[in-house]
């Protein structure tokens, strides 16, 4: 490869990298190396895109459903903790109201009398009440933190347990169904999403109660003060929403570029690619494009910083204008005698409380929205798995059948699957039957080998024989007992299943042997006997830690 070729993508291409990436399109290096942005062929990335495209109105419209989802998850996991969180947040809202009204009472006491000492004495009682309310609010916040901290891991654990149970109980055909497996991939984030939904829900409830408290106090002081609160917090709420959305959109636009960035970095240190990188002198070529993609990322961060700075500046100016307007209205209310000076002080405190509550609300509503999409996938897995489970019970199989007979068996893989098995058998797409009217007999006491070309159906026959697949036509008979109505657990127990591309469990040697039938007692005698029968005694003895050796190169002990 020439130097000119290895430097492809430099010059003007490099100068346009940032503009293309900032606009959301792929950089010149990505176009050259990958043909465009790298989008994982995974369902869960769809939710990232969906959340990024969701409008503010739609997000707020989903808020009641999201809160109900959080409540259901929490109620199923730990009812006492759920009740504790709700009660603590409601009571904390009451303490906030008492504290705000306490501000008014203290100011009235201090400002009313001519003598300062008399005012201080009069303010003592409301000050004590206000202090107690603040202390109670702090205590209730701690209670919420404790109950929420107890609740969230339980919700996550229960959600993950239900998800994994569904995944292990469905038929193999369901796992190999591309649409269902894509749903499983997305739903694996649902357990963590459920945990986060609880946390966001708790904070949203607290923020709403704080906002209601502040609004209620302002309304009690003077009805005109409530709309002034909304006017005053609107610019900062807009800024928080816009910045949050900009960061979110930038992240999910850039995440496609960072995938390419990560893939490119990995290639340069990958053991399998090392020889070709050196022989073909690809190091400089890859480093050049790595640098160009990094430059585009830095430009995007500068663009994002400019957007945030501009947004904050506009919001600050607008907030200043609305603050002047609010305090002008407050001053007019004071001048006209509609509001006392003490009430004005309480109004200022209430406005500050409402402003802080609204900022937290915006942040948590945005984050709760995306997490709720993954939780919805978790519920969808449960719904779709219903009816696809491996049935429990059934007719017993003969202990020693004289023969196993395939009677006109037909099997076709789902069209939604794009999977090929280890024999190269096409398991989807064109809907051509893998087996069509197969009739054969496997006699007892003899070794039966399945011989044929790739794609001839050998692996399909083995999976049908072991009960992993069910015939779509015809029957499989054990001395006349149809496996379609047989006890599947008993059927599975009659087989040891080792495929050409067998799964390598990242467990100890002891467990790698025991997985053949984990229901049996895991005794050393049984392990030694199994190793001897398989001719693996010397192999086990040669392992660094014998039976306790971890059979994985990914980890070490």
Q: What is the pLDDT of residue 440?
A: 92
Could you give the number of structural domains in the chain?
4
- CA pair distance 288, 10, nearest whole angstrom: 8
Q: Are 547 and 540 in contact (CB under 8 A)?
A: yes
Closest CA to 421 of 467, 468, 457, 471: 457
User: 501 lies in a domain?
Assistant: no
The CATH number linked to 440 is 3.40.50.300
Q: According to the model, what pLDDT value does residue 136 have?
A: 92
Measured N-to-C along each axis, helices 225-269 and 190-221 cross at an angle, to the nearest 10 degrees, of 160
Would you state the pLDDT for residue 546? 92
- Bridge-partner residues for 216, per DSSP? none
Whole-number Cα distances in Å, 510 to 86, 396, 521: 48, 31, 12
* Residues 212, 80 share a domain: yes
Same domain? 96 vs 63:
yes
> Can you tell me the distance from the alpha carbon of 505 to that of 231, in angstroms, rounded to the nearest whole number?
61
- Looking at the domain assignment, is residue 125 inside a domain? yes
Q: What is the pTM of this model?
A: 0.66
Place of tokens 């219903």: 386
Range of the domain at 473: 403-493
Residue 357 maps to a domain: no
Q: Are 347 and 355 in contact (CB under 8 A)?
A: no
Length reported for the chain: 557
Check whether residue 98 and residue 63 sit in a common domain: yes
| Partners of 548 in the β-ladder | none
- Shared domain check, 430 and 382: no
Please state, in angstroms and rounded to a whole number, the distance separating the CA atoms of residues 66 and 193: 12
Rg (CA), the chain: 33
Question: Are 382 and 166 within 8 A, CB to CB?
Answer: yes
- Distance from C-alpha of 551 to C-alpha of 371, rounded to nearest angstrom: 36
DSSP string, 50-108: HHHH--HHHHHHTHHHHHHHHHHHHHHH-HHHHHHHHHHHHHHHHHHHHHHHHHHHHHH
Residue 524 included in any domain: yes
pLDDT of amino acid 424: 47
The answer to whether residues 190 and 270 belong to one domain is no
Collapse the DSSP code of 170 into the 3-class scheme (helix H, G, I; strand E, B; otherwise coil) and give the result: strand
- The per-residue pLDDT for 53 is 56
Cβ-contact 51, 248 below 8 angstroms: yes
66/371 Cα distance (integer angstroms): 10
Whole-number Å distance between alpha carbons of 96 and 130:
9
With H, G, I as helix, E, B as strand and everything else as coil, classify residue 145: helix
- Report pLDDT digits (tens) over 320-364: 888 788 778 878 887 887 877 777 777 878 887 887 787 778 778
* Closest-CA residue to 176 (of 388, 362, 405): 388
Residue 324, in any domain of the structure: yes
Rounded to whole angstroms, the Cα distance separating 259 from 255 reads 6
pLDDT given at position 51: 52
Cα separation, 95 vs 140, in Å, equals 9
Give yes or no: residues 543 and 445 share one domain.
no
305/215 same-domain check: no
Q: 356 lies in a domain? A: no
Question: How would DSSP label each residue in 270-281?
Answer: -TTTHHHHHHTT
Report the pLDDT value the prediction gives residue 537, as an integer from 0 to 100.
93
Residue 503 covered by a domain: no
- 60 and 95 fall within a common domain: yes
Q: Please tell me whether residues 309 and 166 are part of one structural domain.
A: no
Instruction: Look at the alpha carbons of 26, 31, 33, 38 in this order and tell me if their dihedral is positive or negative.
Output: positive
Residues 84, 189, single domain; the answer is yes
Low-confidence ranges of the chain (pLDDT < 50): 1-23, 44, 416-420, 422, 424, 426-429
Please name which of 328, 343, 327, 315 lies closest in space to residue 233, comparing C-alpha atoms: 315
Find the angle CA(369)-CA(166)-CA(554) to the nearest 5 degrees: 85
State whether 186 and 63 are in the same domain: yes
* 10 in a structural domain: no
3-state SS of 496-512? Answer: CCCCCCCCCCCCEHHHH
Residues 331 and 243 in one domain: yes
What is the DSSP secondary structure assignment for residue 112, as one 8-state letter?
S
């Amino acid at each position: 490869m020439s130097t000119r070729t290895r430097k492809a993508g430099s010059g003007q291409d490099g100068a346009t990298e940032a503009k293309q990436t900032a606009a959301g399109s792929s950089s010149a290096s990505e176009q050259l190396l990958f043909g465009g942005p790298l989008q994982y062929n995974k369902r869960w990335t769809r939710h990232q895109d969906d959340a990024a495209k969701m409008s503010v109105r739609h997000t707020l419209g989903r808020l009641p459903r999201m809160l109900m989802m959080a409540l259901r998850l929490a109620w199923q996991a730990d009812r006492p903790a759920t009740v504790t969180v709700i009660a603590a947040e409601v009571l904390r809202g009451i303490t906030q109201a008492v504290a705000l009204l306490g501000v008014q009472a203290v100011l009235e006491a201090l400002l009313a009398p001519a003598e300062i000492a008399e005012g201080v004495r009069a303010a003592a009682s409301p000050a004590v009440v206000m202090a107690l309310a603040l202390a109670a609010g702090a205590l209730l916040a701690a209670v919420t933190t404790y109950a929420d901290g107890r609740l969230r891991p339980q919700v996550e654990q229960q959600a993950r347990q239900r998800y994994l149970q569904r995944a292990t109980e469905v038929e193999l055909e369901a796992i190999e169904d591309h649409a269902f497996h894509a749903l499983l991939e997305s739903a694996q984030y649902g357990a963590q999403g459920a945990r986060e939904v609880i946390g966001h829900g708790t904070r949203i409830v607290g923020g709403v109660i704080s906002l209601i408290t502040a609004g209620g106090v302002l309304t009690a002081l003077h009805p005109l003060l409530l709309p002034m609160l909304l006017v005053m917090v609107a610019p900062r709420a807009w800024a928080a929403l816009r910045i949050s959305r900009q960061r979110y959109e930038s992240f999910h636009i850039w995440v496609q570029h960072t995938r390419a960035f990560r893939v490119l970095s990995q290639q340069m240190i990958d053991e399998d690619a090392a020889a070709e990188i050196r022989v073909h002198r690809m190091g400089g070529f890859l480093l050049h494009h790595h640098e160009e993609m990094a430059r585009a990322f830095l430009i995007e961060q500068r663009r994002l910083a400019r957007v945030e700075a501009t947004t904050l500046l506009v919001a600050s100016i607008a907030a200043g204008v609305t603050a002047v307007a609010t305090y002008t209205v407050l001053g007019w209310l004071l001048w006209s005698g509609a509001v006392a000076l003490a009430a004005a002080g309480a109004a200022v405190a209430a406005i500050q409380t409402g402003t802080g509550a609204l900022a937290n609300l915006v942040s948590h509503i945005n984050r709760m929205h995306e997490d709720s999409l993954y939780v919805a996938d978790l519920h969808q897995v449960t719904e779709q798995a219903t009816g696809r489970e491996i049935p429990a019970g059934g007719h017993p199989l003969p202990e020693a059948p004289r023969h196993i007979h395939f009677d006109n068996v037909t099997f076709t893989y789902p069209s939604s699957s794009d999977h090929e098995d280890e024999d190269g058998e096409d398991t989807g797409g064109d809907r051509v039957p893998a087996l069509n009217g197969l009739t054969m007999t496997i006699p007892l006491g003899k070794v039966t080998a399945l011989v044929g070309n790739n794609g001839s159906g050998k692996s399909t026959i083995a999976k049908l024989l072991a009960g992993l697949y069910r015939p779509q036509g015809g029957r499989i008979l054990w001395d006349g007992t149809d496996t379609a109505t047989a006890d599947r657990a008993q059927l599975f127990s009659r087989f040891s299943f080792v495929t050409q591309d067998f799964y390598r469990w990242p467990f100890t040697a002891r467990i790698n042997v025991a997985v053949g039938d984990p229901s049996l007692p895991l005794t050393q005698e049984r392990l030694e006997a199994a190793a001897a029968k398989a001719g693996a005694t010397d192999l086990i003895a040669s392992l660094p830690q014998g039976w306790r050796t971890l059979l994985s190169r990914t980890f070490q002990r």
